[in-house]
Amino acid sequence: MLFDVSMSRNRTFIANLEALCHKCLSAVVSEDDWVWHHRYGHLNFRDLHDLNTHNMVRGVPLINVPKELCKNCVESKQHREPFKKFVETKAREKLEVIYSDVCGPMKCESLGESRYFLSFLDDFTRKMWVYILKRKSEVPGVFKKFKRMVERQTSFLIKIIVTDGGGEYTSNEFDEFCVLEGIVHDVTPPYTPQHNSAVERRNRIVMNMVRCMLNGKKLPKFLWEEAVSIAVYVLNRSPTKRLNKITPEEAWSGCKSVVSHFKIFGSICYKHVPNQFRKKLDRKSEIMILLGTLSCH
């Protein structure tokens, strides 16, 4: 800055300012850390870092823990009292102990007019499955389907199922099926969710991720069903303290997961329109919102 100062007649000073040319400095910072934080449904950065350093999946770059806080995580994950950090593992093999819980009702119906989701958690591998429900009365029928599916995928049988005392789990249909199949039904005492803390805590994590994904992209709440499915898909390919540097999906299937196909939930995408559904001058793609992820083997 240049100053030209001269005395005026009334003994004041006149200052003529001449500004020099302006310069703007900028720094380029890699956004891979935050992109993968969003792709993984706002998973904490420590676990994202471990995915690469421990070679738990393929396709994730080395993630550094930033100093900044994620506003969506702070707003959506804050809680009062944590559950007990360590609960002794009961199972010694797949499907020996299954935890189950119903989450809901949601205040907003999903696109499929559902208000609940039913979760199953294998105590040994920590793999989780979810089923979307319209009514709690669907639980016995869904459990039968789940049992047939997981037992056919493995050579193991469900031996114990741990649930709360909700009416959906204490119905005659559910009890009779457990007796017929030789399954021990362990019901936790009333008002003690900590006794079923494994699946209760996992449901809380799922809902935290759902809130982050919906709020982060300003999406309507009725898309919670799609967000729940993505959250569970991501958690099955994320680190957990119960396993020794492998993901639940690898513990269950024996194969290391590939996550290079992950995209940010709610991102803009383009759907290709086949030739049979367009004319010569029509557009070849339609703009849409990404609400799901296809598995990559």
| 108 within domain boundaries | yes
pLDDT value, residue 217: 93
Across 7-21, 50-64, 185-199, least confident range:
7-21
Q: CATH number of the domain at 192, please.
A: 3.30.420.10
Per cent of the chain over pLDDT 90 is 61
pLDDT value, residue 191: 64
Number of structural domains (the chain) is 1
End-to-end alpha carbon distance in the chain: 63
Is residue 40 within 8 Å of residue 262, measured between CB atoms?
yes
| 266 within domain boundaries | no
| 24 within domain boundaries | no
The residue among 106 and 17 whose pLDDT is bigger is 106
Confidence of residue 53 (pLDDT cuts 50, 70, 90): very high
pLDDT value, residue 8: 58
Which residues span the domain enclosing 120?
32-253
Check whether 297 has a pLDDT greater than 80.
no
| 133 within domain boundaries | yes
| 262 within domain boundaries | no
Check whether 159 has a pLDDT greater than 60.
yes
pLDDT value, residue 242: 86
| 105 within domain boundaries | yes
| 207 within domain boundaries | yes
Give whole-number Cα distances, 23 to 28, 29, 200, in Å: 16, 20, 56
Closest by Cα among 254, 274, 279, 241 to 47: 241
pLDDT value, residue 91: 81
| 273 within domain boundaries | no
Is residue 233 within 8 Å of residue 204, measured between CB atoms?
no
